[in-house]
Amino acid sequence: MSAANHATKRLVALHGWSATLLAILLYVVMLTGTIVVLDNELTDWSAGHTDRAPLFGPRTDQIVTRFAAQVPPEMHDHVFLSQGSNGTLSLFFGTDQPHPDGGTAQFGRGFLVNPQTGVLQSARAGFFSDVVSHRPERAFSHFLVDLHVQLHVPGRWGLYMTGILGVTMLVAAITGVLIHKHIIRDLFTTERPGARLVSFRDRHTLAGVWSLPFAVLLSFTGAFLSFAISLGLPVVALVAFGGDQDLAIATVLGEPTTTNATVAAMADLTTLFADATLRAGAPIGTTEIHDYGTAGAVVTTFHGIADGALIPTTLDYNGATGEFLDRRQIVGTEPSAGSVLASLMAPLHFGNFAGWWSRIIWVGLGAAMTYTIVTGMQLWLRRRENEPAWQHGARALSVVAWGLPLVIVITGHASLVALLTGDPEAVVPRVFIAGCLAVLAYGAFTLKQPLDSLNRMLGLATGIGLLLLPVTRLQTGGLSWGEALMWRGDSVLVIDVTCLALGLICLLAVRRKRAAQPAAAPAE
């Protein structure tokens, strides 16, 4: 064998092992990543209403002024305005205090107010993360986002893990390019029949080659997003700032500093927000006010991505005069190539830069990548089916590949029911863990049954679960399709139709597999 052949053989081994070692975690991250491209839509779908009125309307200034007068002045350090539960405006007034988990965090008071009438709906006191993040309708989507971002592993360790998974995927993609000598031809591969080894290879090649550019893009941007704050910032701070992470953060993020703490009246926020919306070309998502009620107050408005733009806009205003200050850079205070590069990472990873179209493409290509991981594992196990160490590999793969979507669907049902009966944020993780244990137990108890029977049962359960999700949503107070059509509830319609389509695909796949079995048997 020539040296080049040896090198190709080693690359094939690296390609296989890099994905196999972390296959389960990679599959979890890829599948949840594909779903959470639509996380805002999932939240709207769970909420059971549509927000027809804008969050920042003509009464915003009056509302903020009224509630600012009701909290102690020291809580004016940070004011945060965002969307709350059930179409309310969430106001948080806070100041930095020691957090029980270490470090400091904002502690203060939060209010949920009807943005049109100004009527108070609820009030809470506590740390920012507990008060502002408390949105029951986000329980399901937030759980999936957290699973995707850090696998529910606390602190930096979760980010390290997903960062390593990103690099693993990047290595698999690079080696995939190097070992495929006929990439263009492979784009048009058709699967050879008979469920033979070559059939598995054709399936993996087809899915892998089509999703290759996307695999490089997603794994690269994902690894950057995981490592940037958890590893990159501390390392850069160590060398460029002598270990001073606060100075590094101030330089990198360009935090505003108070220049004048003299008590002063605030500018009219309603006018300021109208100007910001016009200037950014997109509605305001959230707003932050530093040092409210002082001459040095700075109002920062965070906008979505405007039509035709690739990155979101953030604007700074003088809070006392209402004067426009600057467009906030994601890194530093002046426009730079580095800032543009860093700000491109999130939209390219989330696919949220061109409305529905980009997100649908991202979901489709994410699904193709997830399928590539499953077919890659099938190919890997098929090549080793006679090795004792991999005897139960195919069964384990079936349990994970079918089990995870099934458990996510069950968790979706539970989150909808919990919106009526209790606290979904507590229910969702418990149901997910219980579901995982139940699927693992089912896989263990059916060890003596044929693998096809396990696949059929799990596929059937996932299909039925998906078909029933819109029914559960309707029965737990969700919008009907008529209401959704009338009130611009696009998210409800899209998620419902997706659930029904995927449910039918699962049932048809199970049926097709069953029908193909007698025919495939003689060929084996």
Residues that bind other proteins (CB under 8 A): 3-4, 6-7, 10-11, 14, 163, 166-167, 170-171, 174-175, 178, 219-220, 223-224, 227-228, 231-233, 235-236, 238-240, 242, 248, 251-252, 329, 331-339, 341-342, 345
Report the residue number, 155 or 243, with the smaller CB distance to other proteins. 243
Residue 294: name the closest of 321, 325, 327, 275 by CA: 321
CB of 356 to other proteins, least distance (A): 29
d(CA 48, CA 210): 37
Spacing of C-alpha 210 from chain mean position: 23
CB of 157 to other proteins, least distance (A): 16
- The residues facing 104 across adjacent strands are 98
Report the residue number, 247 or 420, with the smaller CB distance to other proteins. 247
* 54 Cβ neighbours under 8 A, 6+ residues apart: 115, 283
Report the residue number, 178 or 354, with the smaller CB distance to other proteins. 178
At residue 32, the 3 state secondary structure works out as helix
CB of 243 to other proteins, least distance (A): 10
CB of 174 to other proteins, least distance (A): 5
Report the residue number, 229 or 441, with the smaller CB distance to other proteins. 229
**Strand pairing category for 324-327 and 284-290:** unpaired
Report the residue number, 94 or 347, with the smaller CB distance to other proteins. 347
Report the residue number, 287 or 372, with the smaller CB distance to other proteins. 372
Residue 51: name the closest of 388, 491, 505 by CA: 491
Residue count of the chain: 524
CB of 105 to other proteins, least distance (A): 25
Residue located via tokens 């690359």 = 11
Report the residue number, 14 or 464, with the smaller CB distance to other proteins. 14
Report the residue number, 240 or 261, with the smaller CB distance to other proteins. 240
The per-residue DSSP string of 503-523 comes to: HHHHHHHHHHHHHHHHHHHHH
Report the residue number, 254 or 503, with the smaller CB distance to other proteins. 254
- Other C-beta atoms lying within 10 Å of the C-beta of residue 305: 19
* 494 Cβ neighbours under 8 A, 6+ residues apart: 38, 41, 356
CB of 186 to other proteins, least distance (A): 20
How far, CA to CA in Å, does 162 sit from each of 58, 158, 298, 428, 434? 43, 6, 35, 22, 23
CB of 363 to other proteins, least distance (A): 23
Report the residue number, 342 or 427, with the smaller CB distance to other proteins. 342
CB of 179 to other proteins, least distance (A): 10
φ, ψ for residue 78, nearest 5 deg: -130, 125
Residue type, position 497, single letter: V
- Other C-beta atoms lying within 10 Å of the C-beta of residue 513: 14
DSSP state of 86: G
CB of 240 to other proteins, least distance (A): 5
How far, CA to CA in Å, does 482 sit from each of 390, 479, 488, 489? 52, 8, 10, 9
CB of 345 to other proteins, least distance (A): 8
